[in-house]
Amino acid sequence: MKKALVLGASGGMGYSIVHELAERGIQVLAFARDRKKLERLFVSKKNIQIVTGNALNIDQLQRAATDCDAIFHSINIPYQEWEKHLLQIMKNVLEVVKASSAKLVLTDNIYAYGRSQNGKVTEDKPKQPHTKKGKLRLKQIELIKNSGVPYVIAHFPDFYGPNAENTMLGTTLPYVLQNKHSIYVGSQKVAREHIFTPDGAKAIVTLALTEKAYGQEWNIPAYETITGEKLVDLLREMTGYSKKVFTIRKGMIQLLGLFNPFMREVVEMFYLYEEPVVLDGSKYEKEIGPLPKTPYKEGLKQTLAWMENSKI
């Protein structure tokens, strides 16, 4: 791979994928709508060129994809826009991948798996999504598999890391950094997965560079599961944080949803914070190699340092 296009480059995983590709000597086109943010994140970085565009505009996508060997789809749109735009963006991306004779690498989440069934979820688990967003994600996967393009689909748990703002831990960490009362979405006693985005980027780029990985789905789990209580204890130990962290329960989200369209869409995904879906990464480790796994203490240290330097 000599040249790659990263869609959603200004998001959490997209940002880390751009850097991982560039560090491996691959020429990267970082694509997103907000030019100022792209410039802030990537200006003057070696092997990285920024491209402003909207994935709903197929002409802009096609121009950006010229001579690219792979297209990484890491676009993250607001929940309230999923029904209208998620599948249309996927159709546009697939058309451009075909026209460019490129390969597709998709950053996906765990929604299509549906509810956990007491144990780690493998890639061959039948997908039985019970939420609107899970069903849309499954349709997206089906579009890819029926498209005829070479593809890698990587499933990730919730993110944290540099520039990963619109995440569950992204609601907690800014207040910790300011030593103010913070919030944690879901029970602090339930162990969940949060993957450090540089780890996820290393794993998905390795898949993209491995010919036998194409035509398959891959789970990329986190370092380990961890409770909110343990995370908060780590943050206190690392930073001296001394304020209270309040638990945000489903009823509070439902109440906020009466006034906020985004929160209204969050409600149906709340099952993930009560009965977490935990990914089994044994297929990756057997067929590709060891998964990158940064301990939470180190990952949080790097994330907080990035936030401090970026003045978030």
Q: Please state the separation of Cα 31 from the chain's center in Å.
A: 16
Structure confidence by residue, pLDDT tens digits, 245-264: 999 999 988 887 777 776 78
Cβ neighbours of residue 223 under 8 Å, at least 6 residues apart? Answer: 195, 196, 199, 293, 294, 295, 296, 299
Task: Look over the chain and give the mean of its residue pLDDT values, rounded to a whole number.
Answer: 94
- Rounded mean pLDDT of 153-173? 94
Quick one: pLDDT band at residue 116, thresholds 50, 70, 90?
Answer: confident
As a whole number of angstroms, the distance between CA 226 and CA 296 comes to 9
Q: What is the mean predicted confidence (pLDDT) over 203-214?
A: 98
Contact assessment for residue 234 and residue 296, using Cβ atoms and an 8 Å cutoff: yes
Long-range contacts of residues 290-294, Cβ cutoff 8 Å, at least 24 apart = 291/199, 291/203, 291/220, 291/221, 292/198, 292/199, 292/200, 292/202, 292/203, 293/199, 293/222, 293/223, 293/224, 294/196, 294/198, 294/199, 294/223
Q: Are the beta carbons of 21 and 206 closer than 8 angstroms?
A: no
* pLDDT score recorded for residue 312: 46
- Count Cβ atoms below 10 Å from residue 255 Cβ, excluding itself: 12
For residues 27 and 4, what is the distance between their CA atoms, to the nearest angstrom? 6
Give the separation between CA 76 and CA 173, rounded to whole angstroms. Answer: 20
Nearest to 3 by CA among 30, 25, 38, 28: 28
In sequence order, the β-bridge partners of residue 196 are 160
User: Beta strands 192-196 and 225-226: pairing type?
Assistant: antiparallel
The DSSP bridge pattern shows strands 192-196 and 158-160 to be parallel
Confidence of residue 88 (pLDDT cuts 50, 70, 90): very high
User: pLDDT category, 301, cuts 50, 70, 90?
Assistant: very high
Q: Can you give the pTM of this predicted structure?
A: 0.95
Residue 37 and residue 108: Cα distance in Å, rounded? Answer: 23
Give every CB contact of residue 58 below 8 A, 6+ residues apart in sequence. Answer: 92, 95, 96
pLDDT per position as a tens digit, 48-82: 999 999 999 999 999 999 999 999 999 999 888 99
Collapsing DSSP to helix, strand or coil, 293 comes out as: coil
Instruction: Say if residue 146's pLDDT is above 90.
Output: yes
Give CATH for domain 3-164+193-224+277-293: 3.40.50.720
With cut-offs at 50, 70 and 90, classify the pLDDT of residue 165.
confident
- Confidence category of residue 208, pLDDT binned at 50, 70, 90: very high
Q: What is the pLDDT of residue 16?
A: 98
Is residue 204 over pLDDT 90? yes
